[in-house]
Chain A
Amino acid sequence: MIVLRNATKVYANGVEALSGVDLCIGKEEFVFIVGPTGSGKSTLLKLLYREEVPTSGQVLVDRLNLSDIKPSQIPFLRRNIGVVFQDYKLLPTRTVYENVAFALQVMGASRTYTRRQAGQALELVGLLKKANCFPGELSGGEQQRVCIARAIANNPPLLLADEPTGNLDPSTSWEIIHLLDKINKRNTTVMVATHNKSIVDGMRKRVIALEAGRVIRDQQLGVYSNVF
């Protein structure tokens, strides 16, 4: 589903965030991207939803070469990718339900489809009861669930999460990770960038480790670090 060939990203300020990354991720996999801060995890995810373009090399998502697509096609690419952030990025003036429905509406979805999908997504993350609350009235873990509900509302085949537990306490972090695992089991490819060691070690999923923009390890049933 995802292929990176010798992908390199040099930012305008000269920082080489990724250097010659080769990766292949299959459909319905669950992958952790690990590495210290500044190792290029976020940049890797940004290449996939085309917030950034590689300086050289290729990025293919669902056989679509992201270097080749026209700007007008980007929205359609993004409708097939859900993104979850460390800081949730919710609209504070809209209710939980509206935040989720908003994502569907801007794609041009019909009202019935929007209502059904937003309801299902909120049910999946267990927030149907708080549908009419505002984000400010929710705990961090609940806000992250809203963010996840928004990301999966139209059942995208790919879900990217950038440090989804970065602002959460350990038990809430586990709830979020189990939710992502549940989504993965419903036939969604999930990629989680994190530096949460206990979670990675506890889940024993595929682990891709980055360091200074290079893949230093790619391991099935992996752990956060082989160095003890």
Chain B
Amino acid sequence: MSVVSLVTITVSLVVFGSFLLAVINLGNIASLMGSKMEIVAYVDRDIDSLGINSTVNEMSKIEGVAEVKYITKEKAWETFKADYEGRLALGEIVRENPLPNTFVVRVKSPQMIGAVAKKISNMTTIDEVRYSGNLADRFQTLLDAVRISGMVLVFLLIVATLLIVVNTIKLTVMARQTDIYIMRLVGAANSFIKWPFMVEGLLIGVIGSAFSFIILKFSYDLVVYEVNNFLPFVPMITSGYQLFWVYLSVCLIGVFLGMIGAYISVNSLLKENV
């Protein structure tokens, strides 16, 4: 078992895990910033169903609008309260419904959102228009960049790790050529000769996975702690479920790399008919 292959596999898995954590967190932030495709238009006054219908019709005619939904302020309040259920005793603090009636307008493409929002804000019935526009756009671009460069990096690292594992196992096989020759000579089955090397690959994978899990878990918990202290408005994912999947996939990739690496070298070196 070589230190080099253990270190490489651990480093690769840590990078892979960090990448996954970054992507799910950025994705989470982006989704909280609101969809790039939606505009919300508020109406402070009460409006009757005739007014609602005509506004919906008017909005639907605007070029680039895909769908218009109306949400009464009562419904919005219920949803809001349900969302925060348990965390805040809203019913106690706020007795009056503070929310306005809302039109949610979905546009056909993110590029149209600015123009559509402008037209909606010019409508007399509408009091206020919000959309996440530029910031969300830039954020999405960042997210895409992280995704793509991360995937390239992870791919390269996986290939490099695989090569190093393959070579490590090859060296072990070479170092045991005499043993292997004697084993063959006295009639050991090929699988009998192979399995110790497969086990070694598996071990490299398992130990590398364990190391990288420990490193990832501690550093992510630290990052979450620091972010909560210094940037409390940045939401970090702490749900055990999502993190479990990240750690699980890191470990599975590690074990997989170890086994595939061993499999490749053993099959190229230990052919059956020699």
Contacts and interface: CB of A to CB of B under 8 A. Distances in A.
Interface of A: 49, 51, 71-72, 74-79, 83, 89, 91, 102-103, 106-108, 150
Nearest to B192: A106
Q: How large is the interface on B (under 10, 10 to 19, 20 to 34, 35 or more residues)?
A: 10 to 19
B186 A78 contact: yes
B184 A108 contact: no
Interface in B253-270: none
19 contacts: A49-B185, A71-B273, A74-B184, A74-B272, A74-B273, A75-B187, A75-B188, A76-B187, A78-B186, A78-B187, A89-B178, A89-B182, A103-B186, A106-B183, A106-B188, A107-B186, A107-B188, A108-B189, A108-B192
Nearest to B183: A106
B179 A91 contact: yes
A49 B182 CA distance: 13
B182 A75 contact: no
A89 B185 CA distance: 11
Contact of A89 (B181, B187, B188): B181
Interface of B: 178-179, 181-190, 192-193, 272-274
Contact of B187 (A51, A71, A91, A107): A107
For the complex, would chain B's binding face be called helix, strand, loop or mixed by DSSP majority?
Answer: helix
A72 B191 CA distance: 10
Contact of A78 (B178, B179, B184, B192): B184
Contacts of B187: 74-79, 106-107
A91 B181 CA distance: 11
Contact of B178 (A77, A79, A91, A150): A91
Nearest to A107: B187
A83 B193 CA distance: 19
Given A89-B178, A91-B178, A79 B272 contact: no
A161 to B, nearest CB: 13
A91 B188 contact: no
A76 B187 CA distance: 6
Contacts of B188: 75, 106-107
Given A74-B273, A89-B178, A102-B186, 8 more contacts: A72-B272, A74-B184, A83-B185, A89-B181, A91-B178, A102-B182, A103-B182, A107-B187
Top 3 A-B residue pairs of the complex, sorted by shortest distance between their CB atoms: A106-B188, A79-B187, A78-B187
A101 to B, nearest CB: 11
Nearest to B176: A91
A89 B178 CA distance: 8
B182 A91 contact: yes
Contact of A71 (B183, B192, B272): B272
B182 A79 contact: no
